[in-house]
Amino acid sequence: MFELIEKALISTCVEETLEKTREAFNSVECANFMAKNELRTILPIDKVSFPAKPICVHPLDLPRRRLGSEAGKRSFIHAIAHIEFNAIKLALDIAYRFKGLPEQFYIDWLYVANDECKHFEMLCRRLENYDCAYGDIPSHDGLWSMAVKTENDLLARLSLVPRYLEARGLDVTPGMLKKLTAQNDTASAAILEIILEDEVTHVEYGTKWLDYVCAENGLQRENVFFENIEHYLKGQILGPFNRPLRIRAGFTENELAELERLDKRSSR
Ligand SMILES: [Fe+2]
Ligand SMILES: [Fe+2]
């Protein structure tokens, strides 16, 4: 199973990444994958590869995504597809890179990786309606850079990837849904609704495993979370926050209040 994850991570081919991810997910049931977990060699994170397309550009050089035009819808769906493709690699990487955790840790993140494949494929099918394929529009690598920064630190990875980046999706997706609905794009809205519901579980897994690792190390989750937010984001927190969904995903009232305080501080 870990070999399949590694193949998916180092692959530069979209199809192969999806195929190996699914194989890894499906092998969880039958394989005793934990037997060699502690012995396996882990490749450094710079060996994780991405397809040559989409080309990477600075976020400011990206085409604008006004939903009113066909081109705007196309680049909007493509941008979300790009996020989902990155999310596949992010979920695989957390399962691959960190040893010494219970079997369920690996099962949970492969479940997430499989969900991300599903999201990515739904969006690619939608892109076909716009005569567009994944890779056609330049994108940025904002998500993956957080994985690189947290290569050696599981507490930071859990705080910053599922509990910050993915949790941000919970905040912004309802607004996107409204815009799509206003444009009568019910097909795209239906996809985003499925994604939004699945993402609650992904963020919840972030909470669950951050709790676990904190408990193992005698640490307090809220402290660890905000220390990492401060260290990696320098307090650059953006709200507003989706309270109901974040609470479902395990955020406490304290955490939400502190996030809101940090958001106000950065907007001053
Ligand atoms: Fe997703
Ligand atoms: Fe996700």
Q: What's residue 175's pLDDT?
A: 95
Radius of gyration of the chain (CA): 18
Quick one: tokens of 146? 């957080």
pLDDT above 90 for 48? yes
| Domain total of the chain | 2
Ligand nearest to the CA of 121: 1
Ligand 1: distance of its center to the CA of 211 in Å?
22
pLDDT in tens, 183-215: 999 999 999 999 999 999 999 999 999 999 999
Ligand nearest to the CA of 90: 2
Instruction: Quote the domain boundaries for residue 41.
Output: 1-151
Contacts of 82 (CB under 8 A, 6+ apart): 54, 134, 139
Q: What is the largest CA-CA distance in the chain?
A: 54
Q: Are residues 240 and 115 in the same domain?
A: no
**Rounded Cα gap, residues 42 and 6, in angstroms:** 9
Q: What percent of the chain has pLDDT over 90?
A: 82
Q: Which of 151, 174, 191 is the last residue of a domain?
A: 151
pLDDT in tens, 105-139: 999 999 999 999 999 999 999 999 999 999 999 99
Ligand 1: distance of its center to the CA of 84 in Å?
5
Q: Are residues 127 and 190 in the same domain?
A: no
Q: Which of 151, 180, 210 is the last residue of a domain?
A: 151
Q: State the CB neighbour count (10 A cutoff) for residue 166.
A: 26
Cα dihedral: 256, 262, 266, 268 (round 10): 90
Confidence of residue 49 (pLDDT cuts 50, 70, 90): very high
Please compute the mean of the pLDDT values over residues 96-112 and round it to a whole number.
Answer: 96
Ligand 1: distance of its center to the CA of 128 in Å?
19
Q: Are residues 136 and 161 in the same domain?
A: no
Confidence of residue 88 (pLDDT cuts 50, 70, 90): very high
Q: What's residue 37's pLDDT?
A: 84
Ligand 2: distance of its center to the CA of 63 in Å?
24
